[in-house]
Amino acid sequence: MLTEAGRVLRRIVLPLVATTLAMVGLGLLVSRVMEDVWPISVEDDLVRTLAEHRTDTWDNASRVLSTLSGGIAVVAGTLVAAVLARLAYRSWRAPLFLMGAVAAQTAVYLVARQFVDRDRPDVPRLDDVAGSAAFPSGHTGAALALYGGIAVLLSVHLTGPVRKWVWRVLFLLVPLAVGAARVYRGDSHPSDVVAAYLSAAAVLTIMNAAVLSPRSVWGGPGGPPPRTADGHVPRAAVVVNPIKLDSEDGRARIARIMAEAGWAPPLWLETTVDDPGAGATRRALDEGVDLVLVAGGDGTVRECAEALAGTGVPLAVVPSGTGNLLARNLGLPIDLADAVHVAVHGRDRPIDLGGIESDEPDAGHRYFTAMAGIGLDAAMVADAPDALKKKVGWPAYAVSGARHLRDARMRVTLRIDDGPPITRRARMVLVGNVGALQAGMQLLPGAEPDDGLLDVVVFAPYGMTGWAHATLRVIGRRRRDEQQAAARQRRWRPIEHFTGRTVEVETARPEPRELDGDPIGPGTRMVVRVRPGALIVRVPDGRVALRPEARAEPFPPADADGGLAAVEGV
């Protein structure tokens, strides 16, 4: 975990240094190594042709564009836009992003000029500028940093065609027009303009990640201290798995970030062997907290989600486990400080839960946030050595899975909603609320955590050819509708996908089963039902849009008739 200085170094300083070095290298390549190589060798011919065909109309137009991107205009425009952004957004992030982008681009330009001494085109120039230091084009870079930065800020609150045209005009058209004007006026080569555009685009990306992104370097947006609807200072409970987060420094950073955001001191609760998280979460609810922040792996997150289901109290996640599937699928940051920033400054997103009923007497309903499975995946997570998981992370599952590749396939009968039974021989059946695994692999393409549906994959490769085919299918990330259409054309497939609200899986013999990576013991039957909108999760603001068709349904009490179907053991 990084210190604050380390985060600034990683997110701002090092990327800007890399951008500057890239500009210097590109400039030396263009001005020395490739000076007589096409297309660099014909640049002066192009500028000379434009100079020979100048007109009063284009002279005036290019003068206006050059003025709008000149030093005085850019400084004045940046200050005015920063003030307006502060008033409009009521946040220091927007003006800091804009001023930082312009300043950083200026710094890259000035440093590159010191190392790249490229003469301007040998044509009559319409501006009184020095004959050297043409690379990169300062006007073009400044135009993109300023007007492109304004486009980024505006696009946050714009949608549809308006947002598209804002980007086309401010981010693309204006800077490109400025670049064309500089070439027309004999001040820059085309390659100077291209280099400046690339440099400013990189700077905007860096400053966006460092300032505007929920994973930004600094804390919250400032302004008045936060208050809940009834006027009290918000308070969070932090449910900590001490095995996953045993650092006093980490806990101190969580408390400090919350204090800086104006939150009350958090309630600290640790999980135990007897209480993996659900009991601690219920105690937090009894204390009336406004947020439950979970620092642990998928199993701890699932336990807390069970207790929070239907309560309306948001869940925030500090991913500290091996898989972190929910965090990866919701775009939640992995870094501790980033995750806490999202917890206190993010927005609430209702997501679905998959629910089953435990075999254990009086255990009540059980839920999962990511995936439930029966077969190979459950055997794989059950046999993955804890010591290896702690050392190498999720690849430990691959090591465990290799031990079970030769296991006999299981006879499976699958029923989706009220459809007819589907019989297969399979390695495993996964029922998912989300679709992505580690390393970006999409096992359930098209799965959304708030669409009111469960996605099912029947994994049934046979032999080396089957495994190779299945692997290519997973890597290929075919969309859900394409997979279903293909499934109707051919009965046997190494991977089949289905969707529904209720999924029933029956096997001929007891098979291992798991929920979010936690083994729940072998059984022959697993029935899962989706609970739309049952859990509220704190996600990065503006990063994930809530699907308009997602609606929370009334949440049943634990003993409600007609609730979740049972999982029966044999």
Write the CATH number for 319: 3.40.50.10330
Which stretch of 88-102, 206-220, 312-326 has the lowest confidence by average pLDDT?
A: 206-220
Q: In which band, very low, low, confident or very high, does the pLDDT at 567 lie, cut at 50, 70 and 90?
A: very low
508 part of a folded domain: yes
229 part of a folded domain: no
Asked whether residue 508 falls in the same domain as residue 372, the answer is yes
Which position has the higher pLDDT, 359 or 473?
Answer: 473
Asked whether residue 171 falls in the same domain as residue 77, the answer is yes
Give the pLDDT of residue 482.
45
**Alpha-helical segments (H) within 420-479:** 463-476
Give the pLDDT of residue 560.
37
567 part of a folded domain: no
Asked whether residue 199 falls in the same domain as residue 262, the answer is no
- In sequence order, the 6+-apart residues with CB closer than 8 A to the CB of 136 are 23, 27, 109, 112, 192, 193, 195, 196, 199
Give the pLDDT of residue 563.
38
Give the pLDDT of residue 59.
93
548 part of a folded domain: no
Which stretch of 74-88, 398-412, 427-441, 501-515 has the lowest confidence by average pLDDT?
A: 398-412
Domain count, the chain: 3
| pLDDT digits 0-9 by tens, 23-44 | 999 999 998 888 888 878 888 8
Nearest CA among 545, 512, 520, 515 for reference residue 432: 515
Q: Which structural domain range is residue 254 located in?
A: 236-345
CA 338 distance to own-chain centroid: 12
Give the pLDDT of residue 483.
44
Is residue 542 within 8 A of residue 344, CB to CB? The reply is no
pTM confidence score: 0.59
Asked whether residue 395 falls in the same domain as residue 296, the answer is no
Last residue of a domain, one of 285, 315, 345: 345
Asked whether residue 280 falls in the same domain as residue 429, the answer is no
DSSP conformational letter for 442: B
Q: What is the mean pLDDT of residues 281-298?
A: 95
559 part of a folded domain: no
Give the pLDDT of residue 486.
45
117 part of a folded domain: yes
Asked whether residue 416 falls in the same domain as residue 526, the answer is yes
Q: In which band, very low, low, confident or very high, does the pLDDT at 476 lie, cut at 50, 70 and 90?
A: low
Buried-exposed string 349-382: b where 16+ CB fall within 10 A, e elsewhere:
bbbbbbbbbbbeeeeebbbbbbbbbbbbbbbbbb
Is residue 430 within 8 A of residue 443, CB to CB? The reply is yes
Q: In which band, very low, low, confident or very high, does the pLDDT at 480 lie, cut at 50, 70 and 90?
A: very low
CATH for 392: 2.60.200.40
Cα→Cα distances 290→236, 320, 536, 569, Å: 6, 22, 12, 38
| pLDDT digits 0-9 by tens, 256-277 | 888 878 899 999 999 999 999 9
Reported as type and span, the H/E element at residue 26 is helix 14-28
167 part of a folded domain: yes
Asked whether residue 201 falls in the same domain as residue 328, the answer is no
Asked whether residue 96 falls in the same domain as residue 184, the answer is yes
Q: What is the mean pLDDT of residues 55-84?
A: 93
Reported as type and span, the H/E element at residue 51 is helix 43-52
Which stretch of 83-97, 212-226, 332-346 has the lowest confidence by average pLDDT?
A: 212-226
Mean pLDDT for the chain overall: 81
| pLDDT digits 0-9 by tens, 299-328 | 999 999 999 999 999 999 998 877 788 998
